[in-house]
Structures are given as C-alpha cells and as structure tokens.
Amino acid sequence: MVHLDCSGIWFGSQLDEKHLFEWAAEIPGFLRWEQDTLVVRSRLSEASLRDLLSLFSRYEIPMAQLSQFRTSTNEHWFAAPHMYWHKRVFGGKKPNRALQRTASGGR
C-alpha cells in the first residue's frame, strides 16, 4: 500500500471537491481515502499511473510523491524528461538508481 498526501487542495466548488474523490475512486488500484490521504496499491498499471499523474496535475497535488512508482518496467515513459510531469515528479536532478524500486521489489 502507498499513502499519498492530498492535503491542502483548493477546490473551486463543492462539486469540484466531490469529483476529486470520485475520480480517484475510479482509478484501478485505488483502495480508499483516509481523510486527505489517498491509499493505492503499491503496483499500478500504466493506465492507472497516468490517471494519477493527471489527477495530481489537475488538482495541483504535490507530484514528487509519485516518483516511488518508478520501476525498470515503466521508466522509459514515466521518467522520460520530455513528459509534462517530469520536473514535478522527479525534480531537476537525475534520480539515484540505487534508491529506485525495482519491478520485483516494493514498499
């Protein structure tokens, strides 16, 4: 399980807030909400990870916490420097490969 901090979000309306919670719940790999914390499976499909990237971008949720989903299987697209999320997920530095998860290991 991975806990993602979604606190401090500014919503445009009550319906906007409702949509965040509903949208997240529709993503395969979603487990539950624990107040302002989104709990998801530690391994996500490409489609689910792309949905999380979009959700976090839309609601301006800090995206660096998504870097833990990088694996040797997805790094060719997920960590590609030209992707719109790259700087917000990985920052300006090259990641330390020794600290990355592998496809066979998890948190």
- What is the pLDDT at residue 105? 52
pLDDT tens digits in sequence order for the chain, 107 residues long: 999 999 999 999 999 999 999 999 999 999 999 999 999 999 999 999 999 999 999 999 999 999 999 999 999 999 999 999 999 999 975 545 544 444 445 54
Task: For 29-55, give one letter per residue: b (16+ CB within 10 A) or e.
Answer: bbeeeeeeebebeeebeeebbbbbbeb
